[in-house]
Amino acid sequence: MTRWWHAWCDEVRHVLTDHAVLLVFGGGLLFYALLYPLPYHRNVPGEQAVAVLDHDRGALARQLVRWVDATPQIRITAQPRSLYEARALLAAGTVHGLLVIPEQFERDVYLGRPTTLSYAGDASYFLIYSNIVQGLVTAGTTLTVQTQVARALRSGENPARIPGQVMALRVTPEPVFNSSGGYINYIVPAVFALILHQTLLITAGSVTVKDRRRRAAGQMAAPPGMALMLRGLLFVLIYVFFALLYFGFFFALYDVPRVAPPWALLGVAGVFLASTTVCAMLIGYLVSRPELPTVVVLITSLPIVFTAGFAWPAQSLPAGLDALSWVLPARPGIQALLTLNQMGGGLAGVRDELLVLVVQGLVYALLLGKLVQRQTKKSVLPS
């Protein structure tokens, strides 16, 4: 028992006296949690600037423009005279959407001929694009219904039947998982999980490399198996604290919705962090210098963002890239935490991700054991 206690104290001392690790804890975890969400705070898409290119310039077209401007999603800010000028406004970011009213629009509408309203939007920001399309479709549908009613009155039909004919279904969009419709609720939960994953790879990986160097230099140390188990436990405990800070305090600070019971969130986060810790220690046995885990993290960060399933649909990934994204714990961990805490999926909804994390942890542990065994044999062989 005393031996385990001394080994535990050594691990705690190595972590708390490592300036690089403390810098990641303070600068990478705490500072980044405050810095990253700032650009997205209160970033809810409201009225979007839209340009109207009116080739008709009739009364009905002007009425449509007023209705578009009256929708809560759109603000008409420009009426260019040509498509070239409209495209320039869109490319410069002066407006985020474009409505093109064709020539003879009013005549075709009153004659009952098919006419086409052209919409365009900046799809770089899908929430903005969605807002613009929703506003334009609402105004266009309202105009369609009104013209149908007017035509029915002129022909002596019952206008009460017209709305049902034109709009068999009335769509009322209600956001389920992103209640505010803002970017902060969409991006911050996934990025916070990614920050935990990446900084854990850096800290636990570099501490493992430094431990190997101390052993190679002949310094007294606990047996590798004991040290790795205690180090894994120590990092899981440290990062569970940061996970509670992220998913508790910072989520409350930024008004990010939380629906998972604390015990379930703690359990899933614990499995995710345990698998990531073993992966970090495996990296620590695969590289030779303590700064190399940081290089690994820098190389993998952007690919993880686009393959973890929150910035880009995982179903749209190429098969090879999709399979490769399951090698690290980031994707199942992020998916499990988002499903549980933001979508209310429950533990049954994250069963597959938890199984992947457990299998990953076991495979990492097996590979880590093989590497430790091989390096221990080398160290005892006569030179």
320 or 333: which leads in pLDDT? 333
Question: How much is the pLDDT for 171?
Answer: 57
Question: How much is the pLDDT for 382?
Answer: 47
Query: pLDDT at residue 163 above 60?
Result: no
pLDDT band for 180, please (50, 70, 90 cuts).
low
Query: Strand order of the sheet with strand 48-54?
Result: 74-78, 48-54, 97-101, 118-121
Question: How much is the pLDDT for 383?
Answer: 44
Query: pLDDT at residue 91 above 70?
Result: yes
pLDDT band for 85, please (50, 70, 90 cuts).
confident
The secondary structure of 253-300, three-state, reads HCCCCCCCCHHHHHHHHHHHHHHHHHHHHHHHHHCCCCCHHHHHHHHH
- 44-69: per-residue pLDDT in tens? 667 788 888 888 888 888 888 888 88
Question: How much is the pLDDT for 63?
Answer: 85
The closest alpha carbon to 261, from 176, 347, 187, 354, belongs to 347
Question: How much is the pLDDT for 283?
Answer: 94
CA torsion 245→249→254→259, rounded to 10°? 90
Average pLDDT over residues 277-304: 90
**Percentage with pLDDT > 70 across the chain:** 89
Question: How much is the pLDDT for 45?
Answer: 67
Average pLDDT over residues 288-303: 87
332, 326 contact by CB (below 8 A): yes
Query: pLDDT at residue 169 above 60?
Result: no
Instruction: Give how far Cα 115 sits from Cα of 165, 299, 305, Å.
Output: 18, 51, 42
- 239-248: per-residue pLDDT in tens? 999 999 998 8
Question: How much is the pLDDT for 255?
Answer: 81
Average pLDDT over residues 150-159: 71
312 or 364: which leads in pLDDT? 364
The closest alpha carbon to 331, from 360, 293, 298, 296, belongs to 360
- 258-288: per-residue pLDDT in tens? 888 888 888 999 999 999 999 999 999 999 8
Question: How much is the pLDDT for 170?
Answer: 56
Question: How much is the pLDDT for 359?
Answer: 95
DSSP string spanning 11-74?
HHHHHHT-HHHHHIIIIIIIIHHHHTTGGGTT----SEEEEEEESS-SHHHHHHHHHHHHSTTE
DSSP secondary structure letter of residue 343: S
- 314-329: per-residue pLDDT in tens? 778 888 888 888 899 9
Question: How much is the pLDDT for 239?
Answer: 94
364, 275 contact by CB (below 8 A): yes
Query: pLDDT at residue 238 above 90?
Result: yes
| Two structure tokens written together for 266 | 């703690």
pLDDT band for 166, please (50, 70, 90 cuts).
low
- 206-215: per-residue pLDDT in tens? 999 999 988 8
Mean pLDDT (the chain) is 83
231 or 2: which leads in pLDDT? 231
Show the domains of the chain with their CATH numbers.
Answer: 1-40+185-379 (no CATH), 48-155 (3.40.1710.10)
Beta strands in the chain (DSSP E): 48-54, 74-78, 97-101, 118-121
- 353-368: per-residue pLDDT in tens? 999 999 999 999 999 9
Query: pLDDT at residue 35 above 50?
Result: yes
Query: pLDDT at residue 175 above 70?
Result: no
